[in-house]
Amino acid sequence: MIFELLLIGLATSALYYLIFAYKRANYWRSQGVPGPKNPLFFGLYDQVYNANKPWMMEMEKMTKEYGKIWGHNEGVHRVLVVADPKVAHEIYHTRHEEFQTRRGNHLLHMNRYEPVMHLLDARGTRWKRMRSISNPLFTNNSLRKMMDLVGDSSEHLIKHLSKHVGKEAFNIHRYYQEFSMDVINRLALGEKRSTQFETELVDIMKRIFERDMREPFICLAVMFPRFRMLFRRGFELYYLMKGGSGMKLMKKVVTAVEGRRKARAAGEVTPGDFIDMFLDAEQEDFNLDYDKAFDRRDIGHLQRALTKEEAIGSCFMFLLAGFDTTANSLGYATHYLARNPEIRERLRDEIKGVIGDATLKFDDLPQMKYLDCFVKESLRFHPVANQVSARVVEKDCDLAGVHLEKGTLIQIDGYSMQKDPEVWGDDAEEFNPDRWMNTTAEQSQAFVAFGQGPRMCVGQRLGLTEMKMGIAKVLLNFDVIAPENADNEIHRIGAVTVAPITVDVCLKAIHA
Ligand code: HEM
């Protein structure tokens, strides 16, 4: 009898789950929102996290098919994709408080159970508090102070690259990875000197960023979010046994921060880098407000403080966020440099015209208008962290005529917006830096390589400075040329950020 009852119970639950899954898979259609057919349990999970076929490009194909607003599911999560600049502007700016949190890692518990939190995943008031400490790191004055260090790392980049002058083609992207890691390693891990090609950090990072995210524990968390802490423990145990790259990196961060704490306690003079800034904000006893959504009326009461764990989380995230994005963006930009001799010449003339025989300084960069246009045009074609620019709906609301329930994810499809002919004109697919000499308000809204609004990339100015410094130094020292019979298409990889698999170029001495 008990066995029969159990069987009936199980069959009823399975039936209930099937009906629920069917309704969920058809949710968007029932709301009149277009989109692809959602496989019953997983939705498009398998496509969204496939590193070998980056979702950014797949999403663009679907936007072409279904229009500028469409929906799909990611496991149990409903996702609305937005490729309309005006609607994106509402989400980023005018209605920020309704869409203030990023989608976050599916294994993370927003927020209460996450002591080692960082800016990228923090929610509500906690995010605002952490952001108020990070913003001052990127003012003009702070960047000017960092410039000696960026300049020194770019000199080392040139030294390493010179080995290839007059030789066969090589992958310059690897050198940019060493360069951007060098800068962020010195700022966020307190490394005292340039260590390009001397540490294992780039290899650790590559393993993290090029990883296919369709892993069993993540898949289970996407399917059954209520149990994600359980899957998280499984995930951690698995990588602990395997010696995972994320764990290795976290160990290095903890060692660096603990070392700096001791040095400060011993009264040593420390460099005033990111670690020092985070440790300056450290406090033991303050109101954490872990779970509270942000309300702008609270601004006056925000404490500018971090917990010990948040200081560690912040260094960890700056290391991750500052490395891959900048190196990839430099790689893509060089792909275009190598194929456009007129652009190279024009850039070189502009750079030489500004600096003459002097060394390039931070204050020279704003005078290089064409360099700025070139960098933006490259970012327009390759918004490397497009998938990061997403938001969660805080409470039930309507957006662009669609009713959204609390918890729905909104993914901004910047890759489509940045090439939309209705915004950029019929030559939207043409690489043309001059278009940036005059831009319309709609084009500014559609350019989201760094996101937009209060939650946009906090490191944008450092990323742009590194890119401009790197490109200017390379152009002053070498001619960068695409190898004969080079493939004009860029092959890409990545489930969160999108990297070029290789950027092969030949270097020639300029005066040869
Ligand atoms: C070319 C280089 C870079 C690109 C293309 C880039 C892109 C992005 C994008 C698209 C976002 C999401 C914005 C949104 O959700 O609206 C973001 C967020 C973020 N980026 Fe960057 N980034 C770059 C460099 C950097 C650097 C150098 C750092 C730090 C040193 C950094 C740290 C961060 C952080 C901490 C966030 C989260 C901000 C918040 O939630 O308040 N990024 N970035």
The two structure tokens encoding residue 347: 């850039």
Is the CB–ligand 1 distance for residue 378 below 6 Å?
Answer: no
> Is the Cβ–Cβ distance between 324 and 205 less than 8 Å?
yes
Edge-to-edge strand list for the sheet holding 69-74: 69-74, 77-82, 409-412, 390-392
- How far apart CA 375 and CA 168 sit, in angstroms, is 26
Is the CB–ligand 1 distance for residue 322 below 6 Å?
Answer: yes
Q: Which atom of ligand 1 is nearest to the CA of 130?
A: 41
> Is the Cβ–Cβ distance between 295 and 133 less than 8 Å?
no
Helix or strand or coil: residue 367?
Answer: helix
- How far apart CA 213 and CA 197 sit, in angstroms, is 27
Is the CB–ligand 1 distance for residue 459 below 6 Å?
Answer: yes
Q: What separation in Å is there between the alpha carbon of 12 and the centre of ligand 1?
A: 47
Pocket test for ligand 1, best of 132, 253, 325 (most atoms within 8 A of CB): 325
Is the CB–ligand 1 distance for residue 317 below 6 Å?
Answer: yes
Nearest CA to ligand 1 atom 19: 457
Pocket test for ligand 1, best of 143, 332, 457, 469 (most atoms within 8 A of CB): 457
Bind-site residues for heme: 457
What is the b/e burial string over 225-246, where b = at least 16 CB atoms within 10 angstroms of the residue's CB? beebeebbeebeeebeeeebbb
Task: State the DSSP string of 115-183.
Answer: SS--TTT--HHHHHHHHHHHGGGGSHHHHHHHHHHHHHHHHHHHHHHGGGBTS--EEHHHHHHHHHHHH
Q: Which atom of ligand 1 is nearest to the CA of 454?
A: 41
The phi-psi region of residue 228 (left if phi > 0; otherwise alpha if psi is between -120 and 50; otherwise beta) is: alpha
Q: What separation in Å is there between the alpha carbon of 357 and the centre of ligand 1?
A: 34
The phi-psi region of residue 67 (left if phi > 0; otherwise alpha if psi is between -120 and 50; otherwise beta) is: left
Q: What is the pLDDT along the chain (512 residues), one digit of tens a residue?
A: 788 888 898 899 888 888 888 999 999 999 999 999 999 888 999 999 999 999 999 999 999 999 999 999 999 999 999 999 999 999 999 999 999 888 878 887 665 667 888 899 888 888 988 999 999 999 988 888 888 899 999 999 999 999 999 999 999 999 999 999 999 999 999 999 999 999 999 999 999 998 888 989 999 998 888 888 899 889 989 888 888 888 899 999 999 999 999 999 999 989 889 999 999 999 887 777 666 777 777 777 777 889 999 999 999 999 999 999 999 999 999 999 999 999 999 999 999 999 999 999 999 999 999 999 999 999 999 999 999 999 999 999 999 999 999 999 999 999 999 999 999 999 999 999 999 999 999 999 999 999 999 999 999 999 999 999 999 999 999 999 999 988 889 999 999 899 999 999 999 998 64
Is the CB–ligand 1 distance for residue 325 below 6 Å?
Answer: yes
81 DSSP assignment: E
Is the CB–ligand 1 distance for residue 411 below 6 Å?
Answer: no
Q: Please state the pTM of the whole predicted model.
A: 0.94
Angle between helix axes 460-477 and 341-355 (nearest 10 degrees) is 100
Give the angle subtended at the CA of 391 by the CAs of 292 and 35, to the nearest 5°: 140
The number of angstroms, rounded, from the C-alpha of 130 to the middle of its chain's C-alpha atoms is 18
Is the CB–ligand 1 distance for residue 347 below 6 Å?
Answer: no
Nearest CA to ligand 1 atom 41: 455
The two structure tokens encoding residue 511: 């005066």
Phi, psi of 179 (to 5 degrees): -65, -50
Torsion of CA 32, 422, 56, 130, to 10 degrees: -90
